[in-house]
């Protein structure tokens, strides 16, 4: 049996009359912009609890445009984790700003608050907490610290659509901006690249609308240099449909999470993931094992057609692109975790046979 790491197409089966509705959209000939994009922006803003939402072409663009809107420029320091996807740091480097790497904690693989407090100071301009794997990067504590230093916060919610804090404020709605990705494998995944920015600030919202459209306010009037970053109309249509069944998606992911916990917790060689609170929806199911067996476990699972994978093998502060530009820093916990981490298949609406196959094979390892 072949089990993929993620299975975004599975969700399409749950949408009523999906194929006929999609065909109708396909044949109407409107592929960029239009009502579906505007409706999706409104729906996301409502769901997340932010005043405004601007869709863009990817999560990477969402981060880049957020930094641009906040005026982050050459030489500005931005606090980031090193344990994340490269895009989080790449956008900082694109603008000539300087990443200040912060350690992560071993429970949720997000900012270590003690290290954050050590490194924060008045020379920092912005902070990008990454809600990795769907967990809360202690956003409320980070926000309190940032308020004292007047720092801007861009939440990287690429992997955390729908996750909330203990009081069920949605992640992405707490910082100055929240940057989401709708890459197909994400909790809310589209049929191609996509992303969005949410904010409560009207002037930032207006600025991002222009930034994503070549700096244009009126057509062919370019007030500043922007980029071209739009969500395709068909993608917006599918994302709207998936958002309308998001409660089911959320429940199914939570059931999958509980299934793993109930069936694997007796295995003393696996450390299972924890959710910071019950409003978290995980995007990845990430375990840690001894570094001595991690690669063996990965090969074993892959040999049995189980799409396990490693997020992230090499932290960003050790990547060539970063070492070529900045002095090497030491992040002991980050480096340790990257050697013991492994993500197991995790998606909505798994079949019973898939679940049984997964835990049977995992239990037989060792
Ligand atoms: C934490 C994180 N940030 C940013 C991104 C970038 O999103 P996208 O692939 O949509 O550009 C990703 C995507 O994988 C991500 O996981």
For residue 366, name the pLDDT band (cuts at 50, 70, 90): confident
Looking at every residue in the chain, the average pLDDT score rounds to 97
Do 240 and 297 reside in the same domain of the chain? Answer: no
For residue 310, what pLDDT is reported? 98
Closest residue CA from atom 14 of ligand 1: 85
What letter does residue 3 receive in the DSSP assignment?
Answer: B
In a domain, 348, yes or no: yes
Q: Of 212, 244, 276, which residue is a domain's last?
A: 244
| Residue linked to tokens 């089966």 | 13
- What's the CATH code of the domain at 330? 3.90.1150.10
| Count of structural domains, the chain | 2
Do 288 and 220 reside in the same domain of the chain? Answer: no
In a domain, 1, yes or no: no
Do 210 and 63 reside in the same domain of the chain? Answer: yes
Q: Relative to the CA of 195, which ligand 1 atom is closest? A: 10
For residue 57, name the pLDDT band (cuts at 50, 70, 90): very high
Q: Of 222, 244, 266, which residue is a domain's last?
A: 244
In a domain, 283, yes or no: yes
**Angle at Cα 361 formed by Cα 356 and Cα 363, nearest 5°?**
95
Residues 6+ apart with CB under 8 A from 155: 128, 129, 131, 137, 139, 171, 172, 174, 175, 177, 178, 179
Do 277 and 140 reside in the same domain of the chain? Answer: no
Measure 27 CA to ligand 1 centroid, in angstroms: 31
Q: Determine the residue of 158, 182, 185 to mutate for testing ligand 1's pocket, defined as the one with the most ligand atoms within 8 A of the Cβ atom.
A: 158
For residue 342, what pLDDT is reported? 98
Q: What is the spatial distance between Cα 302 and Cα 340, in angstroms, rounded to a whole number? A: 17
Q: Relative to the CA of 193, which ligand 1 atom is closest? A: 10
Measure 186 CA to ligand 1 centroid, in angstroms: 9
Q: What is the spatial distance between Cα 259 and Cα 282, in angstroms, rounded to a whole number? A: 13
Residues 6+ apart with CB under 8 A from 340: 288, 289, 290, 291, 294
Do 167 and 289 reside in the same domain of the chain? Answer: no
pLDDT tens digit string along 214-268? 999 999 999 999 999 999 999 999 999 999 999 999 999 999 999 999 999 999 9
Kindly report whether the global pTM for this prediction surpasses the value 0.85. Answer: yes
Do 261 and 213 reside in the same domain of the chain? Answer: no
Q: Determine the residue of 181, 230, 239 to mutate for testing ligand 1's pocket, defined as the one with the most ligand atoms within 8 A of the Cβ atom.
A: 181
Do 220 and 293 reside in the same domain of the chain? Answer: no
Q: Determine the residue of 66, 86, 159, 193 to mutate for testing ligand 1's pocket, defined as the one with the most ligand atoms within 8 A of the Cβ atom.
A: 159
8 A C-beta contact, residue 187 and residue 160:
yes
Statement: residue 272 has pLDDT above 90:
yes
Statement: residue 39 has pLDDT above 90:
yes
Q: Determine the residue of 59, 67, 185 to mutate for testing ligand 1's pocket, defined as the one with the most ligand atoms within 8 A of the Cβ atom.
A: 59
Measure 45 CA to ligand 1 centroid, in angstroms: 20
In a domain, 31, yes or no: yes
Closest residue CA from atom 8 of ligand 1: 59
Do 251 and 237 reside in the same domain of the chain? Answer: no
Q: Relative to the CA of 60, which ligand 1 atom is closest? A: 11
In a domain, 260, yes or no: yes
Give the structural domain span for 140: 8-244
- Residue 8: Cβ within 10 Å count: 19
What letter does residue 134 receive in the DSSP assignment?
Answer: G
8 A C-beta contact, residue 72 and residue 78:
yes
Tokens of 222: 């370019």
In a domain, 76, yes or no: yes
Question: Alpha helices, DSSP H only, in the chain?
Answer: 18-27, 35-48, 59-69, 87-94, 113-119, 139-149, 202-211, 233-244, 246-264, 291-303, 320-323, 332-340, 352-364
8 A C-beta contact, residue 88 and residue 80:
yes
For residue 351, what pLDDT is reported? 97
pLDDT tens digit string along 110-125? 999 999 999 999 999 9
Do 65 and 193 reside in the same domain of the chain? Answer: yes
User: 132 — alpha (psi -120 to 50), left (phi > 0) or beta?
Assistant: beta
8 A C-beta contact, residue 97 and residue 71:
no
In a domain, 3, yes or no: no
Do 214 and 300 reside in the same domain of the chain? Answer: no
- What's the CATH code of the domain at 140? 3.40.640.10
8 A C-beta contact, residue 279 and residue 164:
yes
Q: Of 227, 244, 261, which residue is a domain's last?
A: 244
In a domain, 74, yes or no: yes
pLDDT tens digit string along 302-342? 999 999 999 999 999 999 999 999 999 999 999 999 999 99
Q: Relative to the CA of 63, which ligand 1 atom is closest? A: 4
Over residues 169-192, the mean pLDDT reads 98
What letter does residue 169 receive in the DSSP assignment?
Answer: P
8 A C-beta contact, residue 155 and residue 180:
no
Strand partners, 124: 77
8 A C-beta contact, residue 197 and residue 173:
no
Q: Relative to the CA of 185, which ligand 1 atom is closest? A: 14
Do 20 and 42 reside in the same domain of the chain? Answer: yes
Do 288 and 232 reside in the same domain of the chain? Answer: no
Residues contacting ligand 1 via CB (< 6 Å): 58-60, 84-85, 87-88, 130, 156, 158-159, 181, 183, 193, 195
């Amino acid at each position: 049996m072949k089990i993929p790491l993620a299975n975004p197409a599975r969700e399409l089966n749950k949408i009523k009359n999906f194929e006929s509705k999609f065909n109708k959209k396909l044949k109407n000939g409107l592929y960029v912009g239009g009502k579906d994009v505007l409706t999706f922006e409104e729906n996301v803003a409502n769901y997340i609890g932010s005043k405004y939402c601007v869709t863009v072409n990817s999560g990477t663009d969402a981060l880049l445009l957020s930094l641009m809107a906040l005026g982050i420029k050459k030489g500005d320091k931005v606090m980031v984790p090193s344990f994340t996807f490269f895009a989080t740091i790449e956008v900082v480097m694109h603008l000539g700003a300087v990443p200040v790497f912060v350690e992560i904690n071993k429970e949720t693989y997000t900012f270590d608050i003690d290290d954050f407090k050590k490194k924060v100071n008045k020379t920092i301009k912005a902070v990008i907490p990454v809600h990795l794997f769907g967990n809360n990067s202690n956003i409320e504590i980070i926000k309190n610290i940032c308020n004292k230093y007047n720092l801007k916060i861009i939440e990287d919610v690429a992997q955390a659509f729908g996750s909330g804090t203990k009081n069920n404020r949605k992640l992405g709605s707490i910082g100055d901006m929240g940057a989401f990705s709708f890459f197909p494998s994400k909790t809310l995944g589209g049929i191609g690249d996509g992303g969005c920015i949410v904010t409560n600030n009207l002037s930032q919202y207006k600025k991002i609308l222009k930034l994503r459209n070549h700096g244009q306010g009126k057509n062919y009037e370019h007030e500043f240099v922007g980029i071209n970053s739009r969500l395709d109309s068909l993608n917006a249509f599918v994302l709207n449909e998936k958002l309308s069944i998001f409660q089911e998606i959320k429940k199914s992911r939570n059931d999958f999470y509980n299934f793993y916990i109930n069936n694997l917790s007796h295995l003393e060689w696996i450390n299972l993931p924890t959710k910071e609170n019950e409003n978290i929806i995980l995007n990845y199911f990430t375990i840690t094992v001894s570094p001595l067996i991690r690669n063996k476990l990965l090969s074993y699972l892959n040999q049995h057609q189980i799409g396990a994978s490693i997020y992230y093998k090499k932290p960003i502060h050790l990547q060539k692109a970063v070492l070529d530009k900045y002095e090497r820093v030491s992040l002991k916990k980050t480096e340790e975790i990257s050697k013991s981490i492994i993500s197991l298949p995790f998606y909505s609406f798994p079949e019973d046979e898939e679940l049984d196959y997964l835990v049977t094979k995992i239990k037989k390892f060792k």
